[in-house]
Chain A
């Protein structure tokens, strides 16, 4: 479904992603594990197209030079230089790290804004879908998003990505800063999203709750791929255990 081939991303002369290749097949949960500054967020931004927007804006005002090389294919189509909105129409949605939602709008309005590109009549079904996966959101519908807890905001952030009706859901560090209980319920939610037929790519640095549910995983270090394998293989790898599972 998604093929990334020999991807290189530079910020000025600093190499953020180095010759990175990975695949995500339809119906999988794939994880990209890496420590801070490994390049996870750059990878997510490159797949979702956010980096194209950053690049254009920096170019206009003569700021930081961002160079992107390689291939990103979605369902066989080359999308490396496509705008984010086009990629959302094709079915790629990103929930960004640290759950940046719209704090002054209530939860329902956050979800409504997320349907911006949709013209179909099934939007109401998607609301039910999101509320079904994250029941707390339904109870807090009218609460201003900025007053919600970190876990609730994270649910909302994923819910907003789901409102665009994606085929491929990108999650950038969904477990960051959450309590173990909240992490578990998010993992359950990711499983449920996956059962509904949405392919998921998760970037994380804490793998313990995540690895049991992933089909395959990639380890990224300093922008390079160092290891890949099935969830089982990664869980048994001693280096992965010490670096990403806190064992």
Chain B
């Protein structure tokens, strides 16, 4: 029972971490290695807004989502536009941006027990022997809500449909009048904003540490690679597989093995099915 409950919350946490990364990659093909940095930055911005400027929690949260979203847009427009299609350069550029953001924040000293985001509602419940705080319940709700929202957004709205068009066939989309640069920049803004949403849901569970900037990236990559980088069902499935594996390992072995599970999964899936469980990225090459 505990395994089930902790497994679910852990899985949804992983899915939240990965969803923004996967969205950007699926649409624009840009692997946003600054994902973790944006996650961290969003948390710290919110903390500054609440504690230094005295803005209410909700507004601070919305404000930092917007700011980081704009930052993602700016990163694409200013930097990635010229590198589009050169995969190695994209990785280097976004990773460099990530290191700059994280290390500047570390230099400014945003790390440690002072930097704690408030929980939405304090308290916890007992389900069987499992002890679950309300924040984690919220987190599952946000995760499920976000995935439903993304589905509706990409299937029903004009911008969402243009996202799907660019992801499927860029030239055809352009020949129908969809601007590929604008759409890709929007997808990066969206992905970055989702990183902050994830951060705001997850960070209140502990204190903010600049290291999470790197950790989140690893988790997002692991989930993405296992599930198939551009596939939302893949992301959900992979986060459940990894989430439960982690909890099982932590329960029956030792917590130190957690990272090994994640990284081991990357190695395993790359050896067996490089495009991930639901990925189509290299499906043809694999079939040949």
Cβ contacts A85-119/B at 8 Å (1 or 0 each)? 10011000110100011111100010011101100
Within 8 A of B (CB), among A58-99: 60-61, 83-85, 88-89, 93-94, 96
- A interface residues, Cβ below 8 angstroms from B: 48, 50, 53, 57, 60-61, 83-85, 88-89, 93-94, 96, 100-105, 109, 112-114, 116-117, 160-161, 164
User: Nearest-CB distance from A54 to chain B (Å)?
Assistant: 8
CB contacts (< 8 Å) of B174 on chain A: these are 50, 53, 84
Q: A96-B171, A101-B169 are in contact. Are A113 and B176 (CB under 8 A)?
A: yes
How distant is the Cα of A53 from the Cα of B175 in the complex, in angstroms?
A: 10
**B177 touching A88 by the CB < 8 A rule?**
yes
How distant is the Cα of A161 from the Cα of B177 in the complex, in angstroms?
A: 10
Q: A61-B83, A116-B165 are in contact. Are A88 and B171 (CB under 8 A)?
A: no
CB contacts (< 8 Å) of A48 on chain B: these are 175
**B175 touching A96 by the CB < 8 A rule?**
yes
**B162 touching A116 by the CB < 8 A rule?**
yes
**A50 touching B175 by the CB < 8 A rule?**
yes
The one of A53, A96, A100, A104 that contacts B180, using a Cβ cutoff of 8 Å:
A53
CB contacts (< 8 Å) of B176 on chain A: these are 88, 113-114, 116-117, 160-161, 164
Within 8 A of A (CB), among B126-173: 155, 158, 161-162, 164-165, 168-169, 171-173
CB contacts (< 8 Å) of B179 on chain A: these are 83, 85
Q: A57-B85, A112-B161 are in contact. Are A102 and B177 (CB under 8 A)?
A: no
**A102 touching B178 by the CB < 8 A rule?**
no
**B85 touching A102 by the CB < 8 A rule?**
no
User: Nearest-CB distance from B58 to chain A (Å)?
Assistant: 34
CB nearest neighbor in B for A50: B175
The one of A61, A104, A164 that contacts B84, using a Cβ cutoff of 8 Å:
A61
User: Nearest-CB distance from A129 to chain B (Å)?
Assistant: 17
**Contacts A61-B83, A85-B178, A102-B173 given; 6 further ones with Cβ under 8 A?**
A60-B81, A60-B82, A100-B169, A105-B168, A113-B165, A113-B173
The one of A60, A113, A117 that contacts B164, using a Cβ cutoff of 8 Å:
A113
CB nearest neighbor in A for B158: A116
How distant is the Cα of A104 from the Cα of B176 in the complex, in angstroms?
A: 17
CB contacts (< 8 Å) of A101 on chain B: these are 169, 172
Q: Which are the 4 A-B pairs with shortest beta-carbon distances? A: A88-B177, A117-B177, A85-B177, A102-B168
CB contacts (< 8 Å) of B121 on chain A: these are none
**B175 touching A103 by the CB < 8 A rule?**
no
The one of B82, B83, B158, B168 that contacts A103, using a Cβ cutoff of 8 Å:
B168
How distant is the Cα of A87 from the Cα of B164 in the complex, in angstroms?
A: 22
How distant is the Cα of A84 from the Cα of B172 in the complex, in angstroms?
A: 11
The listed residue with most A CB atoms (<10 A of its CB), out of B164, B165, B176, B178, is B176
CB contacts (< 8 Å) of B284 on chain A: these are none
Q: A61-B83, A164-B177 are in contact. Are A50 and B171 (CB under 8 A)?
A: yes
**B177 touching A116 by the CB < 8 A rule?**
yes
Please tell me if B125 contacts chain A, counting CB pairs below 8 Å.
Answer: no
Q: A50-B175, A94-B175, A113-B176 are in contact. Are A102 and B169 (CB under 8 A)?
A: yes
User: Nearest-CB distance from A114 to chain B (Å)?
Assistant: 5
Please tell me if B88 contacts chain A, counting CB pairs below 8 Å.
Answer: no
**B84 touching A60 by the CB < 8 A rule?**
yes
How distant is the Cα of A57 from the Cα of B179 in the complex, in angstroms?
A: 12
User: Nearest-CB distance from A201 to chain B (Å)?
Assistant: 15
Please tell me if B53 contacts chain A, counting CB pairs below 8 Å.
Answer: no
How distant is the Cα of A74 from the Cα of B158 in the complex, in angstroms?
A: 28
CB contacts (< 8 Å) of A164 on chain B: these are 176-177
Q: A57-B85, A116-B177 are in contact. Are A105 and B171 (CB under 8 A)?
A: no
User: Nearest-CB distance from A216 to chain B (Å)?
Assistant: 25
CB contacts (< 8 Å) of B82 on chain A: these are 60-61
